[in-house]
């Protein structure tokens, strides 16, 4: 393998989920804070959704790793079950033998007795249901009823529904209205943005060096690192910045796909005795994987309910495409602050520069009293309803707005009307 060649102690891009490699992006950190809150407040329900490979399992592992010992966890991965089978699977995960009866009354009595005992012992019981988008509506309704177990003061069962984007659509069905209202918190994980992909790669390489380091500064989303041990520098420069565009183009910012591509590229570079990954190494890795650009591979899965894909920003810097940002929130904040949904790391950009707000027929752009202004198609605007093809200009960045009627088109080349960086 290439570990010794690149001064690494462990595989930086392993595909198996590992809390050690949890990258604290803004979205993942926010989701974890939500999960921690629900866990310790005994607030019953949370829904975490995201595309395959966005880090949902790693996020759960990180939460459980830090939860301490006073917690009992049941993980259910098989979701092609009926109501009885689901309750049996739950009891089995909790260490209670449920297979001597098919009586729902008896099974629920066993579960209630177990939950009451754990509550009296001061333990929190957590049920994590993975691939929850595959659950039958009747099983989802049963889960809602299970969430009603309480001690007259607190809920006895914390439920985490984890699944792909289709889960959000499922939960909005009319027959599941009561379940939808019971859900305390919900969070959706997208792919990483253009600043965070760079940070993600460097973070994993730093972790794999098995050396002590600290991120600096935190407000820049871990873009650089300081070394506590004064010897060799961290091996975080293996992927030069000029490779980021291609990495984002072929992975969509999805962590698992980044891992696959970067691992293959490192192996290619190693086989050629290169000290860093070259453009040619990355191109060979993409060819070996036989990948099309991410947007072409996933466009067939876009539907009307799943807003990620209905509206996009094609982000470029000085004419070079940087990323494609999905717009799937009612309000999208753009600026230099690490609190923004889309972060632009440039001094001439205000902390909170502008926001996109969903309107009746698409997004409306609103300038947030920025220092240097927000421009659309070369004209400074305070507020404007965006039209398909509009180009938003901020500093040296240009963002082309695309609505759903343009999905499937070849990615656009975005040009500045006038640079203001």
Say if residues 72 and 39 touch (Cβ distance below 8 Å).
no
Q: Is residue 218's pLDDT more than 50?
A: no
Q: What is the pLDDT of residues 168-192, one digit of tens each?
A: 888 888 888 888 888 878 888 888 8
- What CA–CA distance (Å, rounded) separates 38 from 31? 11
Both tokens assigned to 210: 């098995």
Say if residues 401 and 390 touch (Cβ distance below 8 Å).
yes
pLDDT, position 251: 94
Confidence band, pLDDT 50/70/90 cuts, at residue 307: very low
- What CA–CA distance (Å, rounded) separates 385 from 398? 17
- What CA–CA distance (Å, rounded) separates 108 from 110? 5
Q: Is residue 404's pLDDT more than 70?
A: no
Handedness of CA 109, 111, 113, 116 (dihedral sign): negative
Q: Could you say which DSSP state residue 36 is in?
A: H
Confidence band, pLDDT 50/70/90 cuts, at residue 316: confident
Other CB atoms within 10 A of residue 123 CB: 14
β-pairing verdict for 362-367 and 383-385? antiparallel
Q: What is the pLDDT of residues 48-82, one digit of tens each?
A: 998 889 999 888 888 888 887 789 999 998 888 89
Q: Where are the alpha helices (DSSP H) in 183-278?
A: 194-208, 244-251, 255-271
Say if residues 207 and 83 touch (Cβ distance below 8 Å).
no
Say if residues 27 and 196 touch (Cβ distance below 8 Å).
no
CA distances from residue 374 to 272, 352, 390 in whole angstroms, order as listed = 46, 11, 13
Confidence band, pLDDT 50/70/90 cuts, at residue 346: confident
pTM, entire model: 0.68
Confidence band, pLDDT 50/70/90 cuts, at residue 345: confident
Say if residues 172 and 116 touch (Cβ distance below 8 Å).
no
Q: Is residue 302's pLDDT more than 70?
A: no
Both tokens assigned to 404: 């759903």
Q: Which of 97-101, 186-190, 255-259, 304-308 has the lowest mean pLDDT?
A: 304-308
End-to-end CA distance of the chain: 44
Which residues fall within 8 angstroms of residue 98, CB to CB, at 6 or more apart? 87, 88, 91, 92, 107, 110
Confidence band, pLDDT 50/70/90 cuts, at residue 139: very high
Q: Is residue 99's pLDDT more than 60?
A: yes
Q: Could you say which DSSP state residue 218 is in?
A: G
pLDDT, position 375: 96
Q: Is residue 418's pLDDT more than 50?
A: no
Which residues fall within 8 angstroms of residue 55, CB to CB, at 6 or more apart? 17, 22, 23, 28, 189, 255, 256
Which is more confident, 1 or 271? 271
């Amino acid at each position: 393998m290439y570990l010794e060649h690149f001064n690494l102690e462990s595989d930086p891009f392993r595909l198996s989920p590992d809390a050690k490699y949890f990258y604290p992006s803004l979205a993942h950190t926010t989701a974890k804070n939500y999960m921690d809150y629900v866990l310790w407040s005994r607030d019953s329900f949370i829904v975490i959704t995201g595309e395959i490979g966005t880090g949902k399992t790693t996020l759960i592992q990180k939460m459980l790793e830090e939860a301490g010992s006073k917690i009992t966890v049941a993980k259910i991965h098989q979701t092609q079950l009926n109501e009885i089978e689901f309750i049996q699977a739950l009891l089995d995960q909790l260490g209670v033998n449920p297979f001597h009866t098919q009586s729902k009354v008896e099974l629920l009595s066993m579960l209630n007795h177990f939950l009451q005992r754990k509550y009296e012992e001061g333990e929190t019981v957590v049920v994590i249901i993975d691939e929850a988008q595959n659950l039958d509506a009747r099983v989802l309704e049963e889960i809602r009823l299970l969430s009603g177990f309480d001690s007259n003061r607190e809920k006895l069962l914390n439920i985490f529904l984890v699944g792909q984007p289709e889960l959000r659509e499922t939960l909005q069905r009319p027959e599941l209205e009561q379940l939808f209202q019971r859900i305390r918190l919900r969070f959706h994980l997208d792919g990483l943005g253009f600043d965070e992909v760079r940070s993600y790669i460097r973070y994993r390489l730093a972790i794999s060096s098995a050396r002590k380091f600290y991120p600096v500064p935190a407000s820049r989303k871990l873009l650089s690192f300081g070394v506590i041990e004064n010897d060799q520098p961290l091996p975080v420069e293996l992927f030069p910045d000029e490779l980021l565009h291609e990495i984002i183009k072929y992975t969509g910012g999805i962590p698992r796909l980044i891992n696959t591509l970067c691992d293959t590229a490192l192996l290619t570079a190693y086989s050629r005795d290169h000290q860093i990954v070259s453009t040619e190494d990355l191109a060979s890795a993409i060819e070996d994987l036989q990948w099309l650009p991410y947007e072409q591979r996933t466009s067939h899965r876009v539907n009307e309910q799943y807003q990620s894909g209905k509206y996009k920003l094609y982000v470029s810097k000085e004419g070079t495409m940087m990323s494609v940002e999905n717009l799937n929130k009612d309000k999208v904040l753009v600026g230099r602050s690490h609190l923004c949904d889309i972060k632009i790391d440039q001094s001439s950009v205000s902390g909170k520069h502008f926001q996109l707000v969903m309107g009746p027929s698409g997004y409306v752009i609103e300038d947030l009293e920025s220092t240097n202004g927000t421009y659309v198609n070369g004209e400074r605007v305070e507020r404007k309803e965006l039209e398909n093809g509009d180009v938003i200009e901020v500093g040296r960045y240009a963002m082309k707005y695309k609505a759903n009627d343009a999905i499937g088109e070849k990615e656009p080349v975005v040009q500045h009307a006038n640079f203001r960086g």
